[in-house]
Amino acid sequence: MTDTEKTDEGGARPDSPPSPEERPLDAVTGTWVDDAPAWLRPYLRLARADRPIGAWLLLWPCWWSLALANPRTSFLPYFVLFFIGAFVMRAAGCVFNDIVDRDIDAGVERTRARPLASGRVSLPMAIVFLGLLLLVGLVILVQFNSLTIMLGVASLGLVAIYPFMKRITYWPQAVLGLTFNWGALMGWAAATGSLAPPAIALYIAGFFWTMGYDTIYAHQDKEDDVLMGVKSLALKLGEGSKAWIAAFYGLSIVFLGLAGALANLGPLFYVVLAFAAAHLIYQIIRVDIDDPDTCLEVFRSNRIFGWIVFAAIVFGGFATAFGA
C-alpha cells in the first residue's frame, strides 16, 4: 500500500473531506458530522449523529409525560436530563443494533456502507464505544429518584431483545413501540415518584404511534428484507399497510385523549390535539409505501407531531394550573 492509499483508523484519509463512499446511503449529508475529524466521523455515523430523528422519537414520550405529570411545576432540569439521555441512549441503541445486525446490514443496499458493516469501525472498538455511551447514560440516570432508576434499568431488557425480533416475528415494530415509549413511564415517575393511569395511557398512545411510523420506515427496506430473510410489518401487511397505519395512528390519538382526560387537562388540550390528529392524517395521505423517499420524509415528520402533542399538553395544563 502506498502512502497516498493509507487511511486512518476511521477508514478515511486524514484531513480529507468526506467522500460519498464513506457514507451509508441512509446518511444525511451537509451536517456537522461532515466537518468532524476524519477519525471521528465513522463513530458519529455509527451513533446516527447525522440523523437525530430517532433521538427525538425517543425523547418525546419523556417530555410529554413530564409535562402531563404536573403542569404547575417547572421541571427544567429534568427536561434537560431527558434530552441528553435520549440522545445518548439512542446512540447506544444504534451501536448495539449495528453490532447485532452487522451481517444483515452488509447485505442491504441502504446499510451496507455503515461503519461496522463496511469495516470502518472494528467490532472491538464498537463495543468500547457502546460501553462509553452506556456509562454516560448511567451517570444521567442516577440523577433521578429510585423508581425512575429502576424503570431505566428495566428498559435495558427491551433494548437487548429488540434487534433479534426481526429474525423471529413479523411484528418487531411492537417491541420497538414498547421500548421507545418507556420514557412515558419514566417522565411521570421522575416528576411524581410513582406511576398512575395517565402515564399508562400515554405509554399505550406512544406504542401505537410507533407502530405506525415504524411500519412506514420499514417499507424502505422491504425488498432487501425479503432477500435477507428479515421480517417486518411492512412485509406482513403489504398493500394493506396504509389501513393498518391509519388504525395505529387512530388508536394513538384516542389514548392521548384518554391520558389528557385522566390528567384533568383543560379544553385547549383537545383543540391542539386535533391538529396533531390532522398531521397524522396528512402522513397517511402523503406516504407512498412503494417510494422509499416519501417513506423517509413522512417518517421524519413525526418530530413535528411530537411538538404538536407537547404543545397540546402544555396548553391543556394551563386550565389545571390556574384552577379553571
Q: What is the CATH number of the domain that holds 296?
A: 1.10.357.140
Q: Cα(51)–Cα(31) distance, rounded to whole angstroms? A: 9
Q: With respect to residue 42, please indicate whether it lies within any of the assigned structural domains.
A: no
Cell numbers placing 316: 391543556
Q: With respect to residue 12, please indicate whether it lies within any of the assigned structural domains.
A: no
pLDDT at 226: 79
**Residues 178-229 pLDDT 10s:** 999 999 999 999 999 999 999 999 999 999 999 999 999 999 888 777 777 7
In the 8-state DSSP scheme, what is residue 34? G
Buried b (16+ CB within 10 A) or exposed e, 11-20: bbeeeeebee
pLDDT at 113: 80
Nearest 5°: the CA angle 66, 196, 321 is: 50
Backbone angles phi, psi at 29, to 5 degrees: -90, 165
3-state secondary structure of 177: helix
Q: Cα(294)–Cα(300) distance, rounded to whole angstroms? A: 10
Q: With respect to residue 114, please indicate whether it lies within any of the assigned structural domains.
A: yes
Q: With respect to residue 104, please indicate whether it lies within any of the assigned structural domains.
A: yes
Contacts of 179 (CB under 8 A, 6+ apart): 155, 158, 159, 162
Q: With respect to residue 3, please indicate whether it lies within any of the assigned structural domains.
A: no
pLDDT at 118: 83
Helices (H), the chain: 41-46, 53-69, 76-100, 102-106, 115-118, 123-141, 146-165, 172-180, 183-192, 197-218, 222-228, 233-237, 241-262, 267-286, 292-300, 302-321
Q: Cα(221)–Cα(82) distance, rounded to whole angstroms? A: 31
Q: With respect to residue 198, please indicate whether it lies within any of the assigned structural domains.
A: yes
Q: Is 219 exposed, middle or buried (0-12, 13-18, 19+ CB in 10 A)?
A: buried
> Which residue range forms the structural domain that includes residue 97?
52-321
Backbone angles phi, psi at 63, to 5 degrees: -65, -40
Per the structure, the count of domains in the chain is 1
Residue numbers of the chain with a pLDDT score lower than 70: 1-27, 71-74, 319-324
Q: With respect to residue 91, please indicate whether it lies within any of the assigned structural domains.
A: yes
Q: With respect to residue 31, please indicate whether it lies within any of the assigned structural domains.
A: no
**Residues 135-152 pLDDT 10s:** 999 999 999 999 999 999
Contact 42, 121 (CB under 8 A): yes
pLDDT at 283: 97
pLDDT at 243: 97
Buried b (16+ CB within 10 A) or exposed e, 233-249: bbbbbeeebbebbbebb
pLDDT at 124: 93
Supply the pTM of this predicted model.
0.87
Q: Is 110 exposed, middle or buried (0-12, 13-18, 19+ CB in 10 A)?
A: middle
What's the Cα-to-Cα distance from 20 to each of 48, 113, 160, rounded to whole Å?
A: 16, 10, 32
pLDDT at 20: 44
